[in-house]
A and B are shown apart, each in its own frame.
Chain A
Amino acid sequence: MDIINFLQYSFIQKAFLAGSFVAIVCSALGLFLVLRKMSLIGDGLSHVSFGAIALGLFFGIYPFYVAVPVVMIASILILKISEKTKIYGDSAIGIVSSVGIAGGVILASVSHGFNVDLFSYLFGNILAISNIEVILSIILSIIVLLVIYFFYWDLFSATFDEEYAKTTGVKTNFINILLTLLTAITVVLSVKMVGIMLVSALLIIPAITALQLAKSFKMTMIIGSIVSLISVLLGITLSFLFDLPAGATIVIINALFFTLVFLYKKLSNSN
């Protein structure tokens, strides 16, 4: 099959379009999360999205419409638990995410009807993305990217040195909430692509690959986006050509990029 024919399939076009946006958003946001040692919030929120999707299916509401607000609320809950109580951030993630999973399992058990639908979200399938999901992915991705663009310096400053950022008038509490909400939206967007189990890989791996090649903060963000974009496009292509699960293929390609870059850096440093 030549590449032109391959690209003529509408489900491939939709997967490429939505995947490209989500890939860039994940890598850009992931860089801030990795540097703030918040990488695992993506994992925790993806577990919450399992419960939220189950809730949507239970009440017959389109899962995305439920998942976005529920995961956003959960993200704020994690932030506030770690800020206002004597509970560490990773423990707060653990509490909220396990409640999300538990809620999803109970709803699935009670309903007896949507287990297949629900469990399809565990591993995602971007090749089966619907028109509405493509539109939602693009709109929400653009919103996230615009927020990162407009708050770039505040996000950068608060990530580099939160205390100093406060002394220059950066509203760091607001920035922390903003970052958490953006992460919630991004996690929900990524669930369709790679599934609940693998969302955090999209946030973490492109960022740490780019960090190996870092020459400035801006360049790191650009490199991460390119790596993420290539991984998603290549992953979708290979999954179609070799009949592999798309999400897992995308993650493996991301991991291969990281391994190659890591080895290259090791070898070039030793010479």
Chain B
Amino acid sequence: MPPIIEVKNLSVNYGQTEALKNVSFAILNGDFVGLAGPNGAGKTTLIKAILGLIPVSSGSIDILGNKLDKFNNWGKIGYLPQKSSTINALFPAIVNEIVILGLLSQKKFPKRTTKNDQIKVNNILNDLGISDFKNKMLGELSGGQQQKVLLARALVSNPEILIFDEPSTALDPNSRESFFKLVQKLNKEKGIAIILITHDTGYIGSYANKLMYLDHELKYFGEISGFCLSDKENHSFERSGKHIIWHQHN
């Protein structure tokens, strides 16, 4: 079975600025990878490159054994963007309409919704315990509830990997805790691989089984325990990695 995502020697430049340099890694089935690094280290750039949202300068990205430019089964990848950048509280859409958007990747022109789509939407809303919100406007929901709606949108196409870009930014501590638990449950019970960008580095060790530490280059990728035990890597992280290291040793 090929890796779900395999990145080889990936470099991304924004003009003269090198956002990513020679990054290589593979995400396997069932992985839960925490993606950490300082601000501006290239974390979101990496995610956007994987999702085909930005051009890469060199290197290759394979998804489910297919080259990125040939890959078209986007339903296998669930994406949850950074919430604060995507939600317009005034947008007149109800939860049902938003979750259906997750099924568009499986449709050909002219894209129409079917009864089967509605069943899938109902099922995922039930699974996440938000079926009561089906006909509510997104702007009427709390931050945690909105995040679950976007998660439902990412899950409705039955993906093999979920990619989160700082999902806990707009959540209060309780919502954040329950959200991370839910993501872990999806990883363990449904076997969905996870890549999760977060600044909550203290949380990563509790939920993820692998850590990717990025600072334009890939500084570390592997088991979290291995990360903590490596003196050489600890040295290279210096201040940026201190919180993770501190957390792990406690």
Assembly CA distance A163 to B79 (angstroms): 10
Q: Is the CB of A153 within 8 A of B86?
A: no
Q: Closest residue to A170 on the B side, CB-wise? A: B104
Assembly CA distance A153 to B101 (angstroms): 8
Q: Is the CB of A211 within 8 A of B53?
A: no
Q: Is the CB of B53 within 8 A of A163?
A: yes
Query: Which residues, 171 to 222 on B, are CB-close (under 8 Å) to A?
Result: none
* Interface flags, B65-91, vs A, CB<8A=1, else 0: 000000010110101010000101011
Interface residue from B75, B91, B109 paired with A160 (Cβ < 8 Å) = B91
Number of residues of chain B lying within 8 A (CB) of chain A: 33
CB-CB under 8 A from B107, the residues of chain A are 153
Q: Is the CB of A161 within 8 A of B86?
A: yes
Q: Closest residue to B77 on the A side, CB-wise? A: A167
Q: Is the CB of B92 within 8 A of A154?
A: no
Q: Could you give 19 example pairs across A and B, Cβ below 8 Å?
A: A151-B111, A152-B111, A153-B100, A153-B111, A154-B111, A161-B101, A163-B86, A164-B153, A165-B101, A165-B104, A166-B51, A167-B74, A168-B102, A168-B104, A215-B92, A216-B92, A216-B94, A217-B92, A219-B92
Q: Is the CB of B104 within 8 A of A217?
A: no
Say whether A214 faces chain B, with CB atoms less than 8 Å apart: yes
Q: Closest residue to B139 on the A side, CB-wise? A: A214
CB-CB under 8 A from B118, the residues of chain A are none
Q: Closest residue to A150 on the B side, CB-wise? A: B110
Q: Is the CB of A35 within 8 A of B91?
A: yes
Q: Least Cβ distance of A190 to chain B in Å?
A: 23
Assembly CA distance A156 to B101 (angstroms): 9
Q: Is the CB of A153 within 8 A of B92?
A: no
Q: A-B pairs with the 3 shortest C-beta distances? A: A214-B92, A168-B105, A220-B92
Say whether B98 faces chain A, with CB atoms less than 8 Å apart: yes
Q: Is the CB of A169 within 8 A of B74?
A: yes
Say whether A98 faces chain B, with CB atoms less than 8 Å apart: no
CB-CB under 8 A from B135, the residues of chain A are 216
Interface residues of A (CB under 8 A from B): 35, 149-154, 156-157, 160-161, 163-170, 210-211, 214-220
Assembly CA distance A50 to B88 (angstroms): 35
CB-CB under 8 A from A219, the residues of chain B are 92
Q: Is the CB of A215 within 8 A of B137?
A: yes
Q: Closest residue to A216 on the B side, CB-wise? A: B94
CB-CB under 8 A from B90, the residues of chain A are 211
Say whether B93 faces chain A, with CB atoms less than 8 Å apart: yes
Q: Closest residue to A223 on the B side, CB-wise? A: B92
Q: Least Cβ distance of A236 to chain B in Å?
A: 29
* Interface flags, B105-126, vs A, CB<8A=1, else 0: 1010111110000000000000
Q: Least Cβ distance of B140 to chain A in Å?
A: 11
Say whether B52 faces chain A, with CB atoms less than 8 Å apart: yes
Assembly CA distance A149 to B112 (angstroms): 10
Which of B94, B101, B109, B112 has the most A CB atoms < 10 Å from its CB? Answer: B101
Q: Is the CB of A164 within 8 A of B74?
A: no
Q: Is the CB of A168 within 8 A of B93?
A: no
Known A-B contacts A163-B53, A166-B53, A169-B72; the reply to A217 vs B101 at CB < 8 A is: no
CB-CB under 8 A from A154, the residues of chain B are 104, 111
